[in-house]
């Protein structure tokens, strides 16, 4: 199974809502990533979890809160987002943190903030 | 500062032609250079990757050429097909988890 799954596929939320994005992989990978991608732009790294510990946080606003409950699951909790946070949120995993280039991406969650 | 420069921004190629996308970098600490393909509404998928001690790597119709002295690498898609129409990202990884995408190239292959 070489798949990273993400739910939901689409999410519309108001600026006062709290929601969560979920990501799951069953490849035994030990590094997991959250990216944000705007239209016609490359993915921007937000967070890296390495062996279930947060290892990189690319100066992301605190309204985004990651969580890694176990080695297969990654969540992104959203609260008080702004319209400019509307984007495709991608989850990825790689065999280890030093093999980022081998990352498998999920299909993404299309987030719209109204 | 863009760590990996990619060109062209968009590319239109006839079916059966060769698509060429170029990338350049400055950081000599990079030790892996992957290419990703992304279709609309999907996440990027790893196509092919090369190390700097290899000058060329081929997988099917996709070839990476690497010029270490010029700090440039390129993706060639031979016999381009309409199904290859997608956005392509080059990237570079350095030890210590530094990873950078290029700006992307939107490829359209016309029948």
Q: Tell me the pLDDT tens digit for each residue of B50-89.
A: 999 999 999 999 999 999 999 999 999 999 999 999 999 9
* β-bridge mates for residue A26, sequence order: none
**Which tokens in the block code for residue A78?**
């959203």
Between B49 and B1, name the one with better pLDDT.
B49
pLDDT exceeds cutoff 90 at A58: no
- Which H or E element spans position A61? none
**Which tokens in the block code for residue A32?**
């997991």
pLDDT exceeds cutoff 70 at B101: yes
Query: CATH number for the B4-103 domain, one of 3.40.640.10, 2.60.40.10, 3.40.50.1820, 3.40.50.720?
Result: 2.60.40.10
Place of tokens 């129409």: B85
Of B42, B97, B103, the CB nearest to A98: B97
**List of residues 6+ apart from A34 with CB closer than 8 A:** A23, A45, A46, A47, A64, A66, A74, A76, A89, A90, A91
Which residue of A lies nearest to B95 if distances are taken between CA atoms? A98
Preferred mutation among A2, A9, A33, A42 to probe B, highest tally of B CBs within 10 A: A42
Nearest alpha carbon to residue B57 among B80, B32, B39, B37:
B32
Q: Give residues 9 to 38 of B whose Cβ lies within 8 Å of A.
A: 32-34
pLDDT exceeds cutoff 80 at A1: no
pLDDT exceeds cutoff 90 at B96: no
Contact criterion met (CB below 8 Å) for A78 and A66: no
Confidence of residue A29 (pLDDT cuts 50, 70, 90): very high
Nearest alpha carbon to residue A34 among A66, A81, A77, A12:
A66
**Which tokens in the block code for residue B106?**
């939107």
Place of tokens 């799951």: A24
Count of CB atoms within 10 A of residue B46's CB?
A: 16
**Given this model, what pLDDT does residue A76 score?**
97
Work out the minimum CA distance from A89 to partner chain B, whole angstroms. Answer: 9
Contact criterion met (CB below 8 Å) for B100 and B4: yes
Residues B5-28 have a mean pLDDT of: 97
Nearest alpha carbon to residue A24 among A79, A68, A64, A85:
A68
Confidence of residue A95 (pLDDT cuts 50, 70, 90): very high
The mean pLDDT of chain B is 95
pLDDT exceeds cutoff 90 at B6: yes
Q: Which residues of B touch A110 (CB under 8 A)?
A: 41
């Amino acid at each position: 199974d070489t798949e990273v799954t993400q739910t939901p596929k689409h999410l519309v939320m108001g600026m006062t809502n709290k929601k969560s994005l979920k990501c799951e992989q069953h490849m035994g990978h030990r590094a997991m990533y959250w990216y944000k991608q705007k239209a016609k732009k490359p993915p921007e790294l937000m967070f890296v979890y390495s062996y279930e510990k947060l290892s990189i946080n690319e100066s992301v606003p605190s309204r985004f809160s990651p969580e890694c409950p176990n080695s297969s699951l990654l969540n992104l909790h959203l609260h008080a987002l702004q319209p400019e946070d509307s984007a495709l949120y991608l989850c990825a995993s790689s065999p280890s943190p030093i093999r980022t280039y081998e990352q498998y991406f999920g299909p993404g969650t299309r987030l719209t903030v109204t | 500062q863009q760590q990996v420069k990619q060109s062209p921004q968009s590319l239109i190629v006839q079916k059966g032609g060769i698509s060429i996308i170029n990338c350049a970098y400055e950081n000599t600490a990079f030790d892996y250079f992957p290419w990703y393909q992304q279709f609309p509404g999907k996440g990027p998928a790893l196509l092919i990757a090369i190390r700097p001690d290899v000058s060329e790597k081929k997988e099917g119709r996709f070839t990476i050429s690497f010029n270490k002295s010029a700090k440039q690498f390129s993706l060639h898609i031979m016999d381009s097909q309409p199904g290859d129409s997608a956005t392509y990202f080059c990237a570079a990884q350095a030890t210590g988890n530094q990873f950078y995408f290029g700006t992307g190239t939107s490829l359209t292959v016309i029948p």
